[in-house]
Amino acid sequence: MAARRTPSPGVDNDPAAQSKSERTRARILDAAAEVLSTKGYAGTRLTDVARVAELQAPAIYYYFDSRESLIEEVMWAGTADMLNHVTTILDELPEETDSLERIMVAVESHLRHELEISAYTTASIRNAGQIPDHIRKRQVAEERKYGRVWRDLIHRAHEDGLLRHDLDLYVAQMLILGSLNWTAEWWNPRKTGLDKVVRQAQSFVHGALTSD
């Protein structure tokens, strides 16, 4: 299965504009994202990455000085990609879109990016609890930025009087993100279509935020 991928922030993803070295590096990262998302941190071997990238394993060291540096890049890119994807979609919404609807759009954008668009994001979500802290530093910084996006969405809806008055806004934010991220662990496209998952997730989140 080919790795899903969205453009990583700050990278020219037009193959025609890339050098051979840049294209090879991108192939290695794509392959690492695929292996990491399916086999996990402990099970990811450079030999597997090389096989998926159709390279000899020693060639990886020309681009990354260690297995850890390669995994660090994938983990960072997955979270940075999610942040870029969701914020871009939110920024493109009409100004009159109400704050609760913006949360529903964010739910859909998050799920589609996590499950359908980016193997990088799938890898970063599924392995966040397995990666040593020194490898996660860059990813954690992106996670905090992404958390602020959700905090702002929920606080705006609260200020607009659209949410339950008894909500702890921080707890609500963490429960929403936790449930969305956990979808990567159980979702099977052969059993349930992604559109159905999105609709039910939006229904759950809407009900939790607004029903007394």
Using the predicted structure, report yes or no on whether residue 75 has a pLDDT greater than 80: yes
Local confidence band at 13 (pLDDT 50, 70, 90 cut-offs) = low
pLDDT at 3: 45
DSSP for residue 18: S
Using the predicted structure, report yes or no on whether residue 10 has a pLDDT greater than 80: no
* Residue 97 amino acid letter: T
Give just the sign of the alpha carbon dihedral 69, 72, 78, 81: negative
Domains delineated in the chain: 67-210 (1.10.357.10)
Q: What's the whole-model pTM score?
A: 0.87
Local confidence band at 19 (pLDDT 50, 70, 90 cut-offs) = confident
Percent of the chain with pLDDT over 90: 81
